[in-house]
Amino acid sequence: MTKVVKFAVSFPEEDFKKLEAVRQQERLTRSKAILQAVELWEESRAMEKLIRKYEDGYKKIPETIPESIAWEKASLTAFTKEEW
């Protein structure tokens, strides 16, 4: 079983009011609201790390002009078949 830790957090009053409004609308306990916020923060940090890795890869080995043209043509073909 997961050990639960209780702790106190200080918030600016306006941020606390925003938290309270959202958590009441979503029918969450304060603990659950904070836990979800932390989970989203972790996901965001992981995504940022992947994006930096992706960008670094392109900086090291950029696409050539012919590759860019081929990707553009492929994208146009794929998107024209898609119903919007």
Residue 40 predicted with pLDDT over 70: yes
**Tokens 């960008």 belong to which residue?**
55
How big is the CA angle at 76 (ends 70 and 78), to the nearest 5 degrees? 100
Give the pLDDT confidence score for residue 47 in this predicted structure: 97
Note if the pTM is more than 0.95: no
Residues 6+ positions from 26 with CB-CB distance below 8 Å = 33
Confidence of residue 84 (pLDDT cuts 50, 70, 90): low
Token pair in block for residue 75: 């994208």
Domain ranges of the chain: 13-81
